[in-house]
Amino acid sequence: MNLQRLDPARACKLFDIAGTRLVEQGLALHLPAHTLMERAGAALGKLALAIAPHAQKIWIACGPGHNGGDGWQAACFLHHAGMNVRVSCLASQQDLPQDAQTAMQKAMTLGIHISEPPGDLGPQDLIMDCLLGTGSGRAIAGTMAHWVEIINTSEALILSADMPTGLNADTGEAFSHANGEKGALVRADHTLMLLTAKPGALMAQGRDATGQLWLDDLMRNDSEHTVMAGFQAHCELNPQPTPLLRRHNSHKGSYGDVAIVGGESLSSRGMGMTGAAVLAATSALQAGAGRVLISLLASEKNTHSPDITLHQPELMQRHFQALDLKQLTVVCGCGGGMAVGRVLAEVLQRSRSLVLDADALNAIARDTLLATLLKHRSACNLPTVLTPHPLEAARLLGCSTSHIQSDRISSAVQLAALFACTVVLKGSGTVMACPGQVSRINLTGNAQLATAGTGDVLAGWIGAKLAQGLPAFEAASQAVFQHGQAADDWPCGTRLTASRLASQMN
């Protein structure tokens, strides 16, 4: 693989820090000394020339480890290309690792200008952040934190090597101080991941801190790729789904029946949430379900549900007691309020396949009997998908939202193992996890989805995929990708709302 932008549509293995170090050690046994660092420096130099071809002043901030060595090699590459480069280093030459010492000596031999700490550099056109990469295990403080502040307040274009300094490559969170306060974090315009793609770049704070993501795996021939193939990836990028083909000789029964159970009507609590169920149902129609039934949950004091078919005539409204759950893919919880608790035990025991969202998840978190029924579905080979946001995931695991966000992959895996089902942990870098499957992180989607009802649209979309016969993990993965892609393709200048999203997804 040569230098390229990270493509959300392309399958890609993701390695955590420990896995990346194993890959690096494995390749080092087959390559001449310093080869990987030289290739990393060249890749950084090539990207710098591509994103800032007319830069007159380039400052490279080098740290005390191998990431700093990559920066020294990049300085040599840019110097040979005729660029005006200055380098500052947080460590003396004798304190650097051996390969970084060699790179620094090479730069000094070429006469590259070595600057003191950067306060007197003046305006720069490009800054290359080579301070730490994946090399930090703690919050940034002291002189390095000061350098990070200078980088972030500069008007220059910022390119981070491997990972922005201060970002945890495994979790996507900035490292924290002992008091829980987040440490300094470089905010890059571009990040070139080296050797491996890292999950932290795709989640939580990582999406905002990394800017445009690039990757160079530093492999140059098949034998090197063979070496890397022997190492286990931590997770993978959610790939673009193959379109489902619909046979000409088919009918509505060929594509499954979805029942939406939710949408508590206006109650004594002064809250009505029928719109959430309608959004899920509309989405299921758009996703290709053969038939979509909707069962709105009346409150205890209001036994009448509004007729929603006047506005969406394709939907088939049913009382809950009229649903043949054993023949249905059920999406339960969207706008269910407290009323969902009265039907959830039956839904868990009888539904052929099931998507649980919103208030259904909250009810399970409160009731150990419901949690036990959920776990029992796996023993009966009944596929189930949970779609929590971080707060709902925290309730299910009995922890804080910050704990969920501090390691989104582990949280999703833990939830999937606890309930023996597929989990879609929503958020920046939605995670799909399932026992026996390599977890996936989704790269499609943007902040336009941060509006009420888009989660209901996703739940309905997953339900339609399940109804059409896809395994739960694949149904969830495909729906999440397409949900995010719809937001990425949204017309510029047009506000994304859940109802528009539900009606336009395809």
Domain shared by 199 and 294, yes or no: no
The answer to whether 16 touches 234, Cβ cutoff 8 Å, is: yes
Domain shared by 192 and 326, yes or no: no
Least confident of 173-182, 304-313, 425-434: 304-313
Residue at a domain's end among 201, 233, 265: 233
The answer to whether 464 touches 258, Cβ cutoff 8 Å, is: yes
| Predicted pLDDT at 242 | 84
Other CB atoms within 10 Å distance of the CB of residue 40? 27
Instruction: Write down the pTM of the prediction.
Output: 0.93
Domain shared by 68 and 169, yes or no: yes
HSE of 407, CA atoms in CB hemisphere, 13 A: 9
Domain shared by 183 and 285, yes or no: no
Count Cβ atoms within 10 A of the Cβ of residue 121 and give its class: 0-12 exposed, 13-18 middle, 19 or more buried.
middle
State mean pLDDT over 350-375: 97
User: Reading across the β-sheet that carries 126-130, which strands appear in turn?
Assistant: 4-5, 212-216, 190-194, 157-161, 126-130, 58-62, 85-89, 113-114
Query: Quick one: which of 464, 336, 332 has its CA closest to 387?
Result: 332
CATH code, domain carrying 67: 3.40.50.10260
pLDDT tens-digit readout, 130-170: 999 997 778 888 899 999 999 999 999 999 999 999 999 99
Tell me, yes or no, whether 241 lies in a domain: no
Give the separation between CA 310 and CA 301, rounded to whole angstroms.
24
Domain shared by 132 and 262, yes or no: no
Domain shared by 36 and 118, yes or no: yes
Q: One-letter amino acid identity for 440?
A: R
State mean pLDDT over 400-404: 95
HSE of 421, CA atoms in CB hemisphere, 13 A: 28
Tell me, yes or no, whether 247 lies in a domain: no
CATH code, domain carrying 460: 3.40.1190.20
Residue at a domain's end among 176, 198, 233: 233
pLDDT tens-digit readout, 221-232: 888 888 888 899
Tell me, yes or no, whether 314 lies in a domain: yes
DSSP bridge partners of 193: 215
The answer to whether 93 touches 104, Cβ cutoff 8 Å, is: yes
How does DSSP assign 303-345, residue by residue? ------TTT-TTSEE--GGG--GGG-EEEE-TT-GGGGGGTHH
Q: How many domains does the chain have?
A: 2
Q: Characterize the bridge pairing of strands 440-441 and 431-433.
A: antiparallel
Count Cβ atoms within 10 A of the Cβ of residue 321 and give its class: 0-12 exposed, 13-18 middle, 19 or more buried.
exposed
Query: Quick one: which of 452, 466, 465, 430 has its CA closest to 499?
Result: 452
The answer to whether 130 touches 64, Cβ cutoff 8 Å, is: no
| Predicted pLDDT at 310 | 57
Can you tell me whether residue 231 is helix, strand or coil? coil
Domain shared by 219 and 276, yes or no: no
Query: Is residue 249's pLDDT more than 80?
Result: no
| Predicted pLDDT at 302 | 54
Domain range enclosing 44: 4-233
| Predicted pLDDT at 268 | 41
